[in-house]
Amino acid sequence: MSSTSESGGGSAGPSAYHVMERDLKPWDLYSLDGAENPDRLDITKEYFTRYRQLRGKKTNNAYTHDALQRTWCAFIRRWNAAGREGLSFTSWLEDREATRSARSIGDPRTRVCEMLQREWRLCYVHLVEGCTRRASLARALRPGSKGS
């Protein structure tokens, strides 16, 4: 009978937690060590901010260093994957931003108001609540109509 338990309690290997942490965070926060063909760090940080914004997140101090580091590593993996697929990361990012903007209901009031302005109609929200976006703009008159 061996002196070590079969559960591995006496083993000298790393714990499963440390192995998982090493897989999730192989690089330090804002390190370009793992990036393939990276831009300058300041430019890459701007891309990282936009990458986070796609997911509705910020890069401020409200998040722990640990969470930001995991996201940075995911960002570097996405950067590398885009390069391996023959794509530019910036093109991928701009495409994702455009798709998100087109599909989001972000500010329905503004979108409805803009659509109605194009159709020469009054925005209901503008009438009831006062549309803050259009409040400072004079309503254009339909061509051929008389102003009051």
Distance from C-alpha of 76 to C-alpha of 33, rounded to nearest angstrom:
9
What pLDDT does 64 receive?
Answer: 86
pLDDT digits over 15-67, tens only? Answer: 665 556 667 788 899 999 999 999 999 999 999 999 998 887 876 666 788 88
Distance from C-alpha of 59 to C-alpha of 123, rounded to nearest angstrom:
36
HSE, CB side, 13 Å, CA atoms: give it for residue 23: 7
Contact yes or no for 59/68 (Cβ under 8 A):
yes
Range list of H helices, the chain: 16-24, 41-54, 65-84, 89-103, 108-118, 124-128
pTM over 0.85: no
Domain regions of the chain by residue span: 16-103, 106-142
